[in-house]
């Protein structure tokens, strides 16, 4: 009886195992993530005209700090702060009493030396007459000639002292070194100033202003050609301040001597006319360089681009109906499109719709987009 029960339970257990295995075999295989429905667009090349942009700083072509060349007290300020000044215009005067007195003393000393020269000349002439009659020692004649030569040299030294004293008197007047704009005075009337040390003010030119910006060393050849072919009425270079574009075009003036080894860039300078005094030294803006050499440039819809940590990518169609993420170097935006400098070639296909649902290696489906499917068929 016990053996029969054991056989019964064993047979029942076998049947249950077989049924369970059959159910497992009947389950369908696990499916991967569904394909993402996207719209692909072929990358094409086109002739694009756009502006390359560079951060820039406005600088004066000529800037001079005014310092006195004599020590003394300021006795006059002869301009208004911030005014335009002309070359040679009187700006400051330093107390000239001491220097005028030194000049007068130098003139008096010259007169004394002139009198000594006259006396020495007469003595020498007298000794030479006596020497003709052999009535004087030769040594006395030589001494008279030497005294005359000393008197002449002293007279020359006195003239030099006059020139130096006169220069000091002239230096008591500080004048504008060139046409330009003067800043706010750093000293007041009565202030003590030291020759070569005290800064009185700053004058900068304003008829034309320089705009400096850095370009990558890869662009040296391009900008060198622009410098060679520079024209006075060229519209290649403009400058923008925010959304406002300065109304007058600039002209390339020079490219710096050498590339900065730390940044790999080189300084380039433009000049802009400042007819309405709209430009001021120290302003910052954006230089816009017209680029007409982009024949066959790669341009794609900007909506196809994704940004990750400051880098830009697109999804490119790969084998087996999958996409691969590709890093790009972008150029200038043109409307709803953007120039691609590096990363894509004409003929490749990129995803332009459904990009937000893609990942690296994701499977894609290029079926009819929902918007197109909803459109009525043409009769």
- In tens, the pLDDT along 103-116 reads 999 999 999 999 99
Cβ neighbour number for residue 366 with a 10 Å cutoff:
15
Instruction: Give CA–CA dist 195/215, Å, rounded.
Output: 42
Asked whether residue 379 carries a pLDDT value surpassing 50, the answer given is no
Asked whether residue 30 carries a pLDDT value surpassing 90, the answer given is no
What pLDDT shows up at residue 132?
A: 87
Which helix (DSSP H) or strand (DSSP E) does residue 53 occupy?
A: strand 44-60
Chain centroid to Cα 250, Å, comes to 14
Instruction: Give CA–CA dist 360/358, Å, rounded.
Output: 7
| pLDDT tens column, 225-253 | 999 887 756 788 999 999 999 999 999 99
- The answer to whether the beta carbons of residues 241 and 215 sit under 8 Å apart is no
43-57, 68-82, 254-268: which has the minimum mean pLDDT? 43-57
Q: What angle do CA 347, 349, 352 make, to 5 degrees?
A: 135
- Read off the pLDDT of each residue in 55-81 and give the average, rounded to a whole number: 96
- Read off the pLDDT of each residue in 90-108 and give the average, rounded to a whole number: 96
Task: Specify which residues 36 forms β-bridges with.
Answer: 364
Q: Token pair of 279, please?
A: 């430009």
- Read off the pLDDT of each residue in 8-33 and give the average, rounded to a whole number: 53
Helix (H, G, I), strand (E, B) or coil at 102: helix
- Read off the pLDDT of each residue in 159-168 and give the average, rounded to a whole number: 95
What pLDDT shows up at residue 16?
A: 53
What pLDDT shows up at residue 177?
A: 96
Asked whether residue 371 carries a pLDDT value surpassing 70, the answer given is no
Q: Is the pTM of this model over 0.85?
A: no
């Amino acid at each position: 009886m016990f053996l029969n029960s054991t056989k019964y339970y064993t047979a029942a257990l076998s049947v249950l195992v077989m049924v369970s295995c059959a159910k497992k075999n009947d389950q369908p295989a696990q499916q991967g993530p569904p394909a993402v429905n996207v719209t692909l667009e072929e990358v094409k090349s086109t002739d694009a005209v756009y502006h390359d942009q560079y951060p820039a700083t406005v600088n004066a072509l000529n800037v001079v700090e005014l310092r006195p060349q004599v020590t003394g007290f300021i006795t006059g300020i002869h301009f208004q702060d911030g005014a335009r000044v002309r070359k040679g215009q009187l700006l400051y005067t330093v107390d000239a009493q001491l220097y005028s007195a030194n000049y007068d003393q130098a003139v008096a000393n010259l007169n004394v030396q002139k009198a000594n020269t006259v006396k020495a000349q007469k003595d020498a002439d007298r000794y030479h007459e006596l020497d003709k009659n052999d009535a004087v020692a030769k040594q006395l004649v030589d001494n008279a000639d030497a005294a005359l030569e000393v008197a002449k040299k002293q007279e020359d030294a006195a003239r030099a002292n006059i020139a130096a004293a006169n220069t000091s008197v002239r230096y008591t007047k500080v004048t504008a070194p060139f046409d330009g704009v003067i800043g706010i005075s750093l000293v007041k009337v009565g202030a003590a100033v030291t020759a070569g040390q005290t800064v009185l003010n700053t004058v900068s030119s304003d008829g034309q202003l320089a705009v400096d910006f850095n370009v990558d060393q890869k662009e040296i050849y391009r900008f060198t050609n622009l410098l060679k072919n520079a024209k006075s009425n060229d519209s290649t270079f403009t400058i923008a301040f925010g959304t406002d574009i300065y109304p007058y075009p600039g002209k390339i003036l020079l490219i710096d001597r050498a590339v900065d080894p730390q940044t790999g860039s080189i300084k380039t300078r433009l000049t802009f006319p400042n007819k309405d005094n709209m430009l001021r030294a120290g302003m910052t803006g954006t230089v816009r360089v017209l680029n007409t050499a982009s024949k066959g440039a790669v341009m794609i819809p900007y909506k196809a681009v994704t940004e990750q940590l400051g880098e830009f990518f697109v999804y490119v169609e790969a084998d087996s109906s999958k996409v691969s993420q590709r890093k790009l170097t972008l150029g200038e935006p043109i409307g709803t499109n953007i120039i691609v400098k590096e990363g894509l070639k004409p003929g490749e296909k990129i995803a332009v719709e459904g990009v937000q649902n893609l990942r690296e290696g994701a499977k894609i489906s290029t079926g009819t987009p929902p918007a197109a499917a909803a459109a009525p068929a043409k009769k």
